[in-house]
Structure 1
């Protein structure tokens, strides 16, 4: 896989080879979505497997109001789990009981489930509400470009951060792409650009950790990763989900961001690894720290140096750490 020089230092998750769909992100679901005792199931309540039909159920604004009301109920009275028909109708503000029941029934199965004590969101319904609250579908936020306290490691020009359409990008005046990740509009609405960059860095670390654990950060399906060493200037970590197509591509050094011994090495010398911009870390940006090796269990060694200590970390062909050695200068 031949990556352009400007791609070195980029963490990105996208859903198509040319990146046109943009980075994708995942989030913590605040709604309880475990099955309820007493949940009713009937043949006509089974979720439709046709995505067009499923999303078609959301076409009426009243149905969106119902989903939001169920989400509001959970936040205000989480222990009650479900809400009765009359209380839900009053919360939505619909006087016509028949009209309200019709639209509520159109949501049952895919987005709403009924139990003996009322209604609640399904897993899919909770995801829709979270997406609405995050502004995924409705908020187009942009921030003016801001120079960061960092320089491009390719040309030494100042690193510049931008945020537009949910995408946090760090590059320089010469268009060297240093970092890119998606940040939800709710997290960016009142934040400064440096704060948005910090959130993006946190999400990137979480994405790497989940990927190394073998789960797609987008759909949670099993995912496989690989270290690419041929036809690239710097060894690349790559993972792609065969189910949803989510793809993560970045320098192999990113795999060390969540390694406990690397974190401990920085802490031992009074440094917090999380306080650094990801692209500024020497074990990510400096090519001379990467050494190709040919051992039975490892294919790449990366040197992480702090003060007088150097931790040499060996990765296997999947990007997982298989060996360490600590050296004193």
Structure 2
């Protein structure tokens, strides 16, 4: 039988799902020497330094390659895609930086886990202590007392309250509280970008939508959708398929009108990624954001933010754009 792949390459066979130049570029990385060149250039890179170039002879020594002719061949293969040539030597292009950063972050390179570790915060639903756990490149916040926000059938630890994608490098922080704060803040920023139509991974356009459980059980975890929230937002990048989901009412916490509402009342939800107390306070504020289905045609959801007896009401449409604000 004739091989349907023109070159017998599985990568070529998959070329119809990505631009051909992208597939060709990744072919170049299937060589140990070329990966070593990228890592060597990254090691010599210093942010904000002038030039950041490495001479050919120095790069040859760093990689410890014996034959300059063969080494030059591999280097030329990387030029234009991942490496830039200057009069003073070689340096990484943005694409090269992205490849090395993925390696440094540990994405998919090791089965890193963290057993449930208690943090100094309590579940807003039952008052029992919270803990964090890490598996499958996600950091989960789990309640030690109740069933959390998801049904037992979900691929999440028992008692999960929330869970976000988080690179293994993020576990290098000194305490469980700092890890929790960094993961939560990163997720909040990611959701804010997605709600604004920008993919936080590839900068592509994002499609946003709202899904309403048509037969929602209001008491506890719904037997129909497996969640506590009747209304859920979804985000999908049209380029790289990066996705996210969550209650739109919670994820409006960093909307400018919401930030201003809290700031006018002396509450700064801030941008301190490792400030555990600020993150916990922000999450507590998010639990008071009520979301209500106003209409289905057109689809409208009202989010009510309350603090100190005052209210801010935002109406969002099916794309999660804020179309009306009432103070």
Q: Alignment partner for residue 226 of structure 1, among 206, 209, 212?
A: 209
1:39: which partner in 2?
Answer: none
1:161: which partner in 2?
Answer: 132
1:281 aligns with 2:253: no
What's the TM-score, normalizing by structure 2?
A: 0.73
Secondary structure, counterpart of 1:269 in structure 2: coil
1:259: which partner in 2?
Answer: 255
Cα pair distance change 1:244/1:96, threshold 3 Å = same
How many residue pairs match? The answer is 277
Aligned-residue CA RMSD in angstroms? 2.9
Deviation at 1:170, TM superposition (A): 0.9
Secondary structure, counterpart of 2:21 in structure 1: coil
Matches of residues 1-329 of structure 1 in structure 2 within 5 Å?
49=21, 51=23, 54-75=25-46, 78-173=49-144, 174=147, 175-231=158-214, 233-274=229-270, 275-277=278-280, 280-281=283-284, 283-284=286-287, 289-294=290-295, 299-326=300-327
Secondary structure, counterpart of 1:273 in structure 2: coil
Secondary structure, counterpart of 2:46 in structure 1: helix
Cα pair distance change 1:315/1:62, threshold 3 Å = same
* Alpha carbons 1:214, 1:223 under 8 Å: kept: yes
Cα pair distance change 1:236/1:89, threshold 3 Å = same
* Alpha carbons 1:255, 1:320 under 8 Å: kept: no
Instruction: Flag structure 2 segments of 5+ consecutive residues without an equivalent.
Output: 1-18, 148-157, 217-228, 271-277
Cα pair distance change 1:283/1:298, threshold 3 Å = farther
Deviation at 1:156, TM superposition (A): 4.5
Select the structure with the greater relative contact order (CA < 8 A; seq sep ≥ 6). 1
Cα pair distance change 1:180/1:285, threshold 3 Å = farther
* Alpha carbons 2:46, 2:52 under 8 Å: kept: no
Deviations 1:222-268 (A, max 9, x none): 11212223425431111112322221110011331211222233233
* Alpha carbons 1:183, 1:196 under 8 Å: kept: no
What's the TM-score, normalizing by structure 1?
A: 0.73
Deviation at 1:165, TM superposition (A): 4.5
2:225: which partner in 1?
Answer: none
Q: Give the Cα separation in 1 of the matches to 2:64 and 2:131.
A: 47
